[in-house]
Amino acid sequence: MREAATHDEVYILGADVSIGSKGSVISQDTNAHWLKSFVSINLNITQAFYSHPKILVTALNGPVIGLSASPISFSDFIYCVPSTFLLTPFSSLGLVAEGGASRAFVTRMGISKANEALIMSKRITAQELLGIGFVNKIFELVLAEVKDRLGNHLIGDSLTKIKALIRKPERDVLDAQGVAEVFGGLERFAAGIPQEQFRKIASGEKRQKL
């Protein structure tokens, strides 16, 4: 995302359930390991999204699950196809909210739906996402719509300056919330709780409810 501030790059985020496998051994100090592999990366990804200076448009062509679902909440516009659904199974995996979701979901979804998504790990359908204003529109041809709505008839630097004004009041809150989230997650990883849940999923002992 930081590259995307100056270049047209695309990043795909996802979870690796192999971290809980038997072959995954952490030889160094547990806290130091998770500070490096979880806290710093998570903070960087989250901050890169909510501080992104350009107009950020997300086009979902299918389900968005886990950490990937959190930072897209900071997009200026979100479009999706009918088959899209959002799922953040943090509580099912023994984790806490990540990627700024504890703030962004409440802001974009409202407290009731955010509680369902985060506390209950409930799948939120495309129609529900549209109804609560999380996505701007559901359609089959996403890119054509984006190009039409954000075309040359708009002045580029006006868009970014308006965005900066809209986002400014939230920056301090998001900085603080991001830190609170990652250190909450650090405690869970240091205790080995999500690793055990990932191990169960990888081995087939546990199936993630979709």
Per the residue annotation, which of 98, 116, 187, 205 is the catalytic one?
Answer: 98
Annotated active-site residue 98? The verdict is yes
pLDDT tens track for 129-156: 999 999 999 987 767 777 787 788 888 8
Compute the mean pLDDT over every residue in the chain, rounded to the nearest whole number. Answer: 84
Supply the pTM of this predicted model: 0.72
pLDDT tens track for 109-124: 999 999 999 999 999 9
CA 44-47-53 angle, 5° bins: 125
